Amino acid sequence: MTGGDVFQDLEREFGPASGFAVQPVRDEVPTIWVPRESVTPVLKFLKNSAPQPYRMLYDLTAIDERKRVHREGQPESDFTLVYHLLSLERNADVRIKTALQGEYPTAASITNVFPAANWYEREVWDMFGIKFDGHPNLRRILMPPTWEGHPLRKEHPARATEMGPFQMSAERVDREQEALRFHPEEWGMKPRGENSEYLFLNLGPNHPGVHGVIRFLLQLDGEEILDVVPEIGFHHRGAEKMAERQTWHTFIPYTDRVDYLGGSMNNLAYVLAVEKLAGVDVPDRAKVIRIMLSEFFRLASHLVWYGTLAQDLGALSPVFFTFNDRERIFDIVEAITGGRMHPSWFRIGGVAQDLPQGWDRLVEDFLRYMPARLREYDMLVLQNRIFKARTQGIGVFTREEAIEWGMTGPGLRSTGLGWDFRKQRPYGGYDQFEFDIPVGANGDCYDRATVRVEEMRQSLRIIEQCRKIMPAGPYKSAHPLATPPVKERTMHDIETLIAHFLSVSWGPVIPAGEAFAGIEATKGNNGYYLISDGGIHAYRARIRAPSFPHIQMVPLISRGLIIADLIAILGSVDFVLADVDR
């Protein structure tokens, strides 16, 4: 693996002696080590002046390298910062890494280059204890402010049993509650204006309009929103930490629950990344089965979004209709997988089982049923004049803003940019399907809605093609790392029996290396950046979830509107709290 064009661009700009180094990885993302002090200029160059620039900060995370054994060809490092940039023009990514030394190192904040880095740097500080100089407000983001330690550091325990007994004394209750009090000054807000005192309203963490446990602190003048501070982390479950103690195989069920409306589709991003690490090729039948299930889950997720958006805007009925339809999808999912919302059904190297007899009839019935329902919802919701009045021209962002803030998925497409990973980088077999990428024009709540609705029709198209072309053949790879191996073969050859025994009882040993796989998930781009140290666990698993940057963007598009608009914006952004907090 070479550094590709981007490495040449960098060498041309900064000279060959600037200490850049290319690291071999198992995916197609050029990975370049950059000295600590060059990070900001390099990122500035890549964002602003490089040919076909990398304008989106796709992800920013860190790796605790202190316990890592297989680091061949990498500079000395205790903690590594990873900047993952995306160029829409090149349709390519680049991974910039920088080495930090010491137990609690410090790095320069890049919020002046990429404003979207704000939350990511807070997350890295929260999880690793790495400080960022020049960050406007470096405070914990996922863990409570009273938390001791930084969970993703290797010395931090992963299980409650490794910690002392938990006691919630009265003083502790008081302390924790006091920590939740909102201090506007800490966020640079003034308590009063020229003529009036502002109202600070706690919207959430338990509020019917916010779809889960998230808190929005509103600075209000009357009902007008002057500023918003989203507070997240209430749904944080340490999925990334768990990946470090679950085996590669037993982590699959955790991924289902990251975007909990996306079900199996979450598995896809994860198993694709593991398969890149392990070098497993997936048989055609498994690919098409996976895509069919993923599209069913996209439909299911969009149906929830459709109904709840209408409900947020005061229409009571659509949510019942769409949930009924979702129930029909779950009936099919149940017939195929045995599970419903979280079937954990994809496996390293394929899927858990073959399709049941008669699956195609179920799918056919659904394909006949659904289009009429979608037309009905169009009349009930999208064409309703009150709905239009509530959503058109509300929560507008431009294409540049969307890219700047790391917005992907229907949000990005609502600005008129037909960027869809299924088309741009066909993964997992999407290249064999015919479908369109619906786009909007204005980037407002209404366009985000129409894009999603049209996407549902495209999903139906894909599912129909899946039914037609479903190839014959195995549903799981014969590769020894496919977990668990195909059961029928274990009774015939000793090698498969041993592989079966080991990878089920112990866990598959994935070769050391790094790989990233991103998919077009229900909410936007979901990706897993996995690092194997040659063991049965991930050394580090980074989940790039779309909802995290999307929520970071909410204040930007809410200022100057009123509470009712904020509810419309939240509904149209379509986030899932588990996807924000992981």
List residues near other proteins by CB under 8 A: 199, 201-202, 207-209, 223, 310-317, 320-321, 324, 380-381, 384, 386-387, 389-390, 562-565, 567
Closest CB to other proteins among 208 and 358? 208
CB 34 to other proteins: min, Å: 47
Short-list 270, 258, 282, CA closest to 351: 282
Provide CB contacts within 8 A for 460, sequence distance 6+.
Answer: 299, 367, 370, 371
Q: How far is the CB of 395 from other proteins (least distance, A)?
A: 13
For the bound state, the minimum distance from the C-beta of residue 209 to other proteins, rounded and expressed in Å, comes to 4
CB of 315 to other proteins, least distance (A): 4
Question: Least distance from C-beta 59 to other proteins, angstroms?
Answer: 32
Name the residue nearer to other proteins (CB basis): 268 or 567.
567
- Rounded least distance, CB 225 to other proteins, Å: 12
Nearer to other proteins, 225 or 481 (CB): 225
The strand pairing partners of 529, in sequence order, are 516, 542
Cα 59 from Cα 539, distance rounded (Å) = 18
Peptide bond before residue 205 is cis, with ω within 30 degrees of 0 = yes
Nearer to other proteins, 68 or 390 (CB): 390
Q: How far apart are CA 141 and CA 132, in angstroms?
A: 14
Q: How far is the CB of 224 from other proteins (least distance, A)?
A: 10
Tell the smallest beta-carbon distance from residue 386 to other proteins (Å). Answer: 5
φ/ψ of residue 93, rounded to 5: -110, 165
Q: How far is the CB of 463 from other proteins (least distance, A)?
A: 23
**Two tokens at 12?**
């041309």
Are residues 555 and 536 in contact, defined by beta-carbon separation less than 8 angstroms?
no
Q: Say how far apart CA 520 and CA 438 lie, in whole Å.
A: 14
Cα(452)–Cα(470) distance, integer angstroms? 26
CB 6 within 8 A of CB 32: yes
- Which residue lies nearer to other proteins by CB, 106 or 383? 383
Contact 445, 313 (CB under 8 A): no
CB of 308 to other proteins, least distance (A): 9
**Which of 126/325 has CB closer to other proteins?**
325
Residue type, 537: H
Reading the block at residue 379, the tokens are: 């009349």
Distance in angstroms between the alpha carbons of the first and the last residue of the chain: 31
User: By C-beta, is 163 or 199 nearer to other proteins?
Assistant: 199
Query: Which of 196/357 has CB closer to other proteins?
Result: 196
Nearer to other proteins, 209 or 253 (CB): 209
How far apart are alpha carbons 33 and 95 in whole angstroms?
A: 8
DSSP state of 510: P
Token pair recorded at residue 572: 């149209």
Within 10 angstroms of residue 176's Cβ, the number of other Cβ atoms is: 13
Sheet (strand 215-221) strand order: 199-203, 215-221, 224-231
CA atoms of 121 and 127, how far apart (whole Å): 10
Task: Using DSSP bridges, classify how beta strands 350-351 and 346-347 pair: parallel, antiparallel or unpaired.
Answer: antiparallel
Q: Which is nearer to other proteins, 252 or 554 (CB)?
A: 554
d(CA 451, CA 85): 25
Give the shortest CB-102-to-other proteins separation in angstroms: 46
Residue 537 phi/psi, 5-degree rounding, is: -110, 165
Cβ neighbours of residue 188 closer than 8 Å, sequence gap 6 or more:
137
Q: How far is the CB of 145 from other proteins (least distance, A)?
A: 23
Q: Please say which residue, 293 or 453, places its beta carbon nearer to other proteins.
A: 453
Residue 215's beta-bridge partner residues? 231
Strand partners, 197: 192
Q: Which is nearer to other proteins, 370 or 530 (CB)?
A: 370
- The CB-of-309 to other proteins minimum distance in angstroms stands at 10
DSSP symbol at 143: S
Residue 292 identity: M
Best CA proximity match to 271, nearest among 359, 352, 372, 207: 352
Least distance CB 380 / other proteins (angstroms): 8
Of 383 and 398, which has the nearer Cβ to other proteins?
Answer: 383
**Which CB, 316 or 491, lies closer to other proteins?**
316
Report d(CA 123, CA 226) in Å as an integer. Answer: 25
